[in-house]
Amino acid sequence: MEFRDYYDTLGVKRSATRDEIKREYRKLARKYHPDVSQETDAEQRFKEIGEAYEVLKDPEKRAAYDRLGANWQAGQDFRPPPDWNQGFEFHGGGFSGGDSADFSDFFETLFGRGFGGHGGREFHARGDNTFARISIDLEDAYSGATRTITLQQSRLGADGRPQVSERTLNVRIPRGVRQGQHIRLGKQGTPGMGQGEAGDLFLEVDFKPHPLYRVDGTDIFIDLPVAPWEAALGASVQVPTPEGRIDLKIPPNSAAGRKLRLQGRGIPARRPGDLYVVLQIVLPRADSEAAKQAYLDLQRATSFDPRAGLGVRS
């Protein structure tokens, strides 16, 4: 098991006061909070910070941790001393069932046992509800899909210590689901105590970013590149949608940025969303004599002033 340097994790000196520790924790927590942060390793960092703070904010745990000595290095192979935990009396504030899966083996070995409170205080006949996140592709919301997720669960073992176990579930993703919605799986949460039934598992749905489509609620947006003559003269073109290709009529004299709405082709929720095709006019390069000539002819044929609204002369 690797030693964890909790002072280093929070970036504080071993002599730091409780207030200093709290201040540094809060700073890092704001930076790495998974609800706020865009850092790729935010979730992992946040867990480490939370674990370090859990120990250093509690005078009893901190004193016990300090007693290990200052000579340990983070990552060094660690085994608790044989007399570990003697002479300390811990009150409550041990880790709760919900957090235990998040903390390291190191934490669990030091504080997972004898830190009071877990057994009696946590007793429920019914198991707790658990929450997890599931990432799906936009296409899954159109067709429905089956996805496999692996969940880490902690439960109290026979010896009174929390044990982390993994389990894999195949879950049906219903058609019409959208970002931020929950799927409730009855009795798939934490097992109940005694005769009590298990809690529920709630899966929060998260869409993976899509290279073509942008999602807003149940509405979908796609940018469609068109040639100037298609936008000016009108055209019938093919457009990809999450359900497959469709033929779309572009009305004559369409401006760049024009939105064409395809009603009911968004996410097929109870009230289906719409698909918006946003026109992007793409210019061909004037890289041949013929192309140059075509641009010049267009210039002569129209009295077009793109800067008419700016009050300057072209």
Partner 1 sequence: MSRAQADNALRGELLDDGIELSLAELCRACQLPAERIFELVEEGIVEPRGRTPARWRFHALHLRRVRRAQRLQRDLGVNTPGIALALELLEEVESLRARLRHFEPGTC
* Single-letter code of the amino acid located at 96: S
Size of the site for partner 1 (CB under 8 A): 44
Task: Give the tokens for residue 27.
Answer: 């700073």
> Which residue, 75 or 186, is less far from partner 1 as judged by CB?
186
40 binds partner 1 (CB under 8 A): no
Phi and psi (nearest 5°) for 271? Answer: -110, 100
208 binds partner 1 (CB under 8 A): no
β partners of residue 236: 249
At a CB cut-off of 8 Å and minimum separation 6, what does 177 contact?
Answer: 136, 140, 141, 183, 205, 267, 269
Stretch that binds partner 1, among 28-36, 230-238, 257-265, 297-305 (CB under 8 A): 28-36
Stretch that binds partner 1, among 85-93, 153-161, 212-220, 294-302 (CB under 8 A): 212-220
Q: Which of 186, 234, 257, 264 binds partner 1 (CB under 8 A)?
A: 186
Task: Give the tokens for residue 151.
Answer: 């969940």
200 binds partner 1 (CB under 8 A): yes
Q: What is the DSSP string of 136-155?
A: E-HHHHHH-EEEEEEEEEEE
256 binds partner 1 (CB under 8 A): no
Question: Which of 74, 75, 28 is closest to 50 using CA atoms?
Answer: 28
Site for partner 1 in 79-118 (CB under 8 A): none
CA–CA distance, 230 with 232 (Å, rounded to integer): 6
Given a contact cutoff of 8 angstroms between Cβ atoms, the answer to whether 65 and 56 are in contact is yes
214 binds partner 1 (CB under 8 A): yes
Distance of CA 9 to the CA centre of its chain: 23
Q: Which of 176, 191, 192, 228 binds partner 1 (CB under 8 A)?
A: 176
Q: How far is the CB of 86 from partner 1 (least distance, A)?
A: 32
Angle subtended at Cα 106 by Cα 56 and Cα 189, rounded to the nearest 5 degrees:
95
153 binds partner 1 (CB under 8 A): no
> Which residue, 145 or 232, is less far from partner 1 as judged by CB?
145
Q: Which residues bind partner 1 (CB under 8 A)?
A: 26, 29-30, 33, 35-36, 38, 46, 50, 128-129, 131, 146, 148, 169-172, 174, 176-178, 180-186, 188, 200-204, 209, 211, 214-216, 223, 269-271
